[in-house]
Structure 1
């Protein structure tokens, strides 16, 4: 058993993972949050209210005696909170740390993930002359739950608009749809984290894993087969995406509650989606199965099983 702290564990991604670790009952769980979380407190989880994540002294005091820290900080301009948290982990003697990743691969070329790359580089610099803080970048690829949007397939993970809409039967597809994507449900992500907490060896620096790997066109074909209806394909050209152009008559809307107002609506999606789809076409969403190899008995749900289960 280890004492693990989930920083931002009451939020969109972290909460489903917290619930799984608590349910398994193998580790002592503490959640750091900017606000109270009554239902977690009532279930016996220690919730510590952190008023200022840039206050390293406050964080250091709260992390004394903690073995592992997992970060789920969602909005952190300049990475001020994450860098302060890393400094506090080192000062408090924390053994293992996972920065806010929980997505596609590092240095993917997707501008939206540049802050994650900056934190990675910061950790590399800290450990350049020898191990200071053991860390792992947990990368499940794309959460498979998004393939079922707008159907809600997790208790807490909120699914906003994506490039596949199984209800409106629209899909944005790049060129011939040959891009590979790796997918993991949030439920299986929680299971991987649970196993990683007890892993006896050194954590890998980059810890990719997935339940399924499929080309974009094959996912669309599978959904059409299950639904028994053809999708309207909105084909995007690489040359247009490279210019930041989004030539499509249909576009999903980002209504994610964790995003600030300026990041919601159709306008911002016309900026974000071209960059993401272009990065994915270049391999950004095709993570390496590192944890799958380290934990060969892992049984994670694949894409076809998931889609047939939730769409039928």
Structure 2
């Protein structure tokens, strides 16, 4: 049993915290900027209020922690100031392992709103350049398979988004071609692998791909049509001007995320259009495919496939 600190208890973090609590194996410390509100205490965990501008106090609170797992919001942490402070405090406190706030695709070249993730990657590389100071892994999962099911997904904390193909309404937006590949991983599998990773006795891989299934948009749509028995309305978007094509599409995929819920509708819509334009560009360029390092470390673990996932979700 070790002490694991979870920084920024948002939606994905809450799913993973629940996984740790259910396993009963480790002491779970939650690092949050605010004191817990009514009903926010999570049974089986200890919550500490932290100030990322006070690295000395942060390091003090990390004393005795074995692993830090970060979920600090990349597009709310300008310049990655908070996450870099968390790394520094972890080194000072003698933390053994660190997982930065990744939880998405492998490359962010087209995703300007996630540039902070690359700042953190480089910082971790630099502090380990001459000798290993802090063992770390980049948990990369592609897109959460759960978003394919939209409002019908059965998760406790993860927002009910829809994506480029919308199972509930049997429709799809395809940037250029249905042959572009995407890695999808169910949040349930992400939780299970992260919990297992704490007990892994070998060195964590720097690139930590968790690959549920890599499939083309077309293959995903075919599976959804098979399970639902409904033909999808497929709308092909012009990749030469994805933003205009998306603005004129028959529907706009939604993003329900705490970081944008308080925005007015016009600002929110603008963000969603820009985010999906960037994401579709990344898909076209092959950046939405992640590797499978953790799959190979745990070869006996069976990941949810599309057919099993959609069947279970729509049941």
TM-score tier by shorter-chain length is over 0.9
* Aligned mates of 1:18, 1:272 — CA distance in 2: 27
Contact (CA 8 Å) 1:7, 1:73: kept in 2 or not? yes
SS of the aligned residue for 1:66 comes to coil
Aligned residue number for residue 293 of structure 2? 290
SS of the aligned residue for 1:261 comes to coil
SS of the aligned residue for 2:183 comes to strand
Aligned residue number for residue 48 of structure 1? 48
Establish whether residue 17 from structure 1 lines up as the match of residue 16 from structure 2. yes
How far does residue 137 in structure 1 lie from its aligned partner after superposition?
0.4
Pairs aligned (count): 309
When normalised by structure 1's length, the TM-score is 0.93
Contact (CA 8 Å) 2:7, 2:71: kept in 1 or not? yes
Aligned residue number for residue 7 of structure 1? 7
- 1:278-299 CA-to-partner distances (Å, cap 9, x unmatched) read 1012121110111001111112
How far does residue 39 in structure 1 lie from its aligned partner after superposition?
4.9
SS of the aligned residue for 2:151 comes to coil
Establish whether residue 77 from structure 1 lines up as the match of residue 94 from structure 2. no
Contact (CA 8 Å) 2:148, 2:162: kept in 1 or not? no
Aligned residue number for residue 157 of structure 2? 156
Establish whether residue 213 from structure 1 lines up as the match of residue 214 from structure 2. yes
* Aligned mates of 1:163, 1:185 — CA distance in 2: 16
SS of the aligned residue for 2:218 comes to helix
SS of the aligned residue for 1:277 comes to helix
How far does residue 40 in structure 1 lie from its aligned partner after superposition?
6.2
Aligned residue number for residue 314 of structure 2? 311
* Aligned mates of 1:41, 1:132 — CA distance in 2: 33
Contact (CA 8 Å) 2:137, 2:204: kept in 1 or not? yes
Unaligned runs of 5+ in 2: none
SS of the aligned residue for 2:5 comes to strand
Contact (CA 8 Å) 2:227, 2:307: kept in 1 or not? no
Residue 262 to residue 279, structure 1, CA distance change in 2 (3 Å): farther
Aligned residue number for residue 268 of structure 2? 265
Residue 42 to residue 270, structure 1, CA distance change in 2 (3 Å): closer
Contact (CA 8 Å) 2:107, 2:288: kept in 1 or not? no
Aligned residue number for residue 105 of structure 2? 104
Unaligned runs of 5+ in 1: none
When normalised by structure 2's length, the TM-score is 0.92
SS of the aligned residue for 2:152 comes to coil
